[in-house]
Amino acid sequence: MAAACAQNAGAAQCQGFSRLSPLGRRCSSGSRVFLSQRGSRLKAVALAHAVVQERSHLESMRSSSSLQQRTLDFVKYHGLGNDFILVDNRDSSAPKVSPEDAIKLCDRNFGVGGDGVIFAMPGTQGCDYSMRIYNSDGSEPEMCGNGIRCMARFVARLEGTLEPRSYKIHTLAGTIIPELRPDGQVAVDMGPPTLKGAEVPTKLPVNADGAVVKQPLVVDGKTWLVTCVSMGNPHCVTFGEQDAKGDLEVNKLPLEKIGPLFEHHEVFPARTNTEFIQVLSDTHLRMRVWERGAGPTLACGTGACAVVVAAVLEGRAQRRCVVDLPGGPLEIEWKEANNHVYMTGPAKPVFSGIAYLD
């Protein structure tokens, strides 16, 4: 498989994301796109024009190919380096590619490269859109925090809008509501966390209230204290070993070795995402993550949410924290008033193109 027509955003090519270019930059066609700073109407017109140009260019590439191959139009986005291949799937409630295709697409040497493939699908159950996602190993998670921020930006782009607004998106974890903010960030109401051990799910012993908080778990011959949280997908959060004499130094962890051992541990019947946390202050946490089905990634939005919930339950942090991930920071708040967790962070386009699937 090869990915074609990769219009790098940094190069600001006209067919890809000319609206992201500095004001008045010349595109390869020789035309200029001037974005007004005095209102959103001209910005929306420029955005719509850029999308039309891109679609025309991709269609030209597809029709000029001498090989009769299956192809897939895509736009690549990332949320703090957690990168996804976004597919316009609004004309069908079935994903346009198979899990096996997703594995090939996510390959960073022989495909487009990514942590997953996200499908923007028709809405259901009163939602504006539905979201499905295949991980880089072909498995299907219930939801993805960084991914849903990217999807919100993607569907706004498909609609040709730059206006701040919110979307109701149906996921396998329920309805999630991302909001596009004027500052370019995406704020997401992730809903309430699930704390009952059987619902996470995990077979670890529960506390009196049914939650799994600071329970011992033996991995690789060491006893770790873990707290389990579901944000629509399962998370195992640890702040270190049971007999540790100091704070966990997450950047020194052999993540490639211990990550899979947590993910596939017998106490997690649906496997698990695992977050390793270093407390910098009661409002500032550092996190490394091993994602179920994807391995080590630069960021995990649902993981950052689970981390703040776990930190509060263990008495280590306040309800509003900055969580530092390898790809950058996320703002997380677990509101006491409604028990919902809110995540705020960026989502940015990288390039668009056509992938050949055969």
Q: With the C-alpha atoms ordered 261, 263, 265, 267, is the resulting torsion angle positive or negative?
A: positive
| Residues 6 or more apart in contact with residue 41 via CB below 8 angstroms | none
> Pick the catalytic residue: 144, 150, 236, 321?
144
Active-site residue 228, yes or no? no
Q: Which residues are registered as beta bridge partners of 275?
A: 237, 289
Cβ(76)–Cβ(351) below 8 Å: yes
Rg (CA), the chain: 21
Cβ(94)–Cβ(312) below 8 Å: no
Active-site residue 106, yes or no? no
Helix axes 145-159, 301-313, angle to 10 degrees: 140
Strands 328-334 and 320-325: antiparallel
Measuring CA to CA, which residue among 170, 165, 160, 155 is closest to residue 187? 165
Give the chain's length. Answer: 358
> Pick the catalytic residue: 14, 106, 150, 300?
300
Q: In the chain, count of helices (H) and strands (E)?
A: 6, 18
Measuring CA to CA, which residue among 124, 105, 101 is closest to residue 115? 105
**Annotated catalytic sites, by residue?**
144, 300
